[in-house]
Amino acid sequence: DVKVTQSSRYLVKRTGEKVFLECVQDMDHENMFWYRQDPGLGLRLIYFSYDVKMKEKGDIPEGYSVSREKKERFSLILESASTNQTSMYLCASSSGLAAYYEQYFGPGTRLTVT
Amino acid sequence: AQKVTQAQTEISVVEKEDVTLDCVYETRDTTYYLFWYKQPPSGELVFLIRRNSFDEQNEISGRYSWNFQKSTSSFNFTITASQVVDSAVYFCALKGNNFNKFYFGSGTKLNVKP
């Protein structure tokens, strides 16, 4: 079974804190993704990575950065958390070998910034 | 431009009713893939089905069926004899020539009442 794990299910942080969200996949997938999910807005892509040390901005990258030092691990960083970053964060991975491969998702991290 | 529209924000049905979730997409790519995912209350998105743009055959899997029509750019999902366990948020997604990127609709929340 493909496994995508995220470091925390729930996280509470204060405004201005630096926040790290970690994601690990065990299927040797090339592609990894970070989304945020908000009611009525669906999934919005923050960043994705198609290879180690490679990254591309998604639709809403402002206020976020990412790191991919190893193939299996993709980190999302909130440099200075703000209350409007309170959301559910979902990590996903997929094979980059062909177009038809689906994404596999982690369980999500619900982040609250106070 | 790539876009997926799920016009139904929330649907409520009584158990054993049939229900159809609508998905309309926009793309200029000639080759693309369409997906449906289920997100139960636990939060993790689960892959349900994939369809490529060259295969317009409908698919049935148990109580689930999918109707893909290129002429109307739609990929609708029907649950027959709904059950309480079908209660979830359902997402339709599109992947085009840039097969690193998925485009998700805003989701349809299905409530199945006993």
Contact between B43 and A103 using a beta-carbon 8 Å cutoff: no
Suggest the residue from A25, A103, A104, A111 to mutate for an interface test with chain B (most B CBs closer than 10 A): A103
CA atoms within 13 A on the CB side of B32: 24
Question: Domain of B72?
Answer: 3-113
Q: How high is the pLDDT of residue B43?
A: 85
Distance of residue A43 Cα from the nearest chain B Cα, in angstroms? 6
Find, among B107, B89, B80, B104, the residue nearest to B7 by Cα: B107
Q: How high is the pLDDT of residue A19?
A: 97
From chain A, the residues in CB contact with B102 under 8 A are 33, 45, 103
Q: Identify whether the C-beta of residue B73 lies closer than 8 Å to the C-beta of residue B5.
A: no
CA atoms within 13 A on the CB side of A98: 4
Whole-angstrom Cα distance, residue A26 to residue B89? 26
A-B CB pairs within 8 A amount to 57
Q: How high is the pLDDT of residue A79?
A: 94
Find, among A26, A64, A110, A71, the residue nearest to B44 by Cα: A110
Flag whether residue A33 sits within 8 Å of chain B, measured between CB atoms.
yes
Number of domains in chain B: 1
Q: How high is the pLDDT of residue B82?
A: 96
Per-residue pLDDT of B21-30, as tens digits, reads: 999 999 998 8
- Compare all CA atoms of chain A with the CA of B101 and give the residue at the minimum distance: A48
- Encode burial over B51-73: b for 16+ CB neighbours within 10 A, e otherwise: bebeeeeeeeeeebbbbbeeeeb
Q: To 10 degrees, the CA torsion angle through B63, B96, A70, A1?
A: 20
Burial of B5 (0-12, 13-18, 19+ CB in 10 A): middle
Q: How high is the pLDDT of residue A2?
A: 64
List, in sequence order, every residue forming a beta bridge with A64; answer none if it has no partner: A78
Q: How high is the pLDDT of residue A101?
A: 81
Per-residue pLDDT, averaged over A11-23, amounts to 97
Per-residue pLDDT of B30-65, as tens digits, reads: 889 999 999 998 888 999 999 888 888 888 889 999
Q: How high is the pLDDT of residue B99?
A: 61
Per-residue pLDDT, averaged over A69-73, amounts to 96
Whole-angstrom Cα distance, residue A86 to residue B56? 40
Contact between A102 and B9 using a beta-carbon 8 Å cutoff: no
Model confidence at A61: pLDDT above 90: yes
Distance of residue B14 Cα from the nearest chain A Cα, in angstroms? 23
From chain B, the residues in CB contact with A41 under 8 A are 106
From chain A, the residues in CB contact with B107 under 8 A are 42-43
Q: How far is CA A84 from the centre of its chain?
A: 17
Domains present along chain A, CATH in parentheses:
17-97 (2.60.40.10)
Instruction: Read off the CATH number of the domain in which B18 is found.
Output: 2.60.40.10
Contact between A42 and B35 using a beta-carbon 8 Å cutoff: no
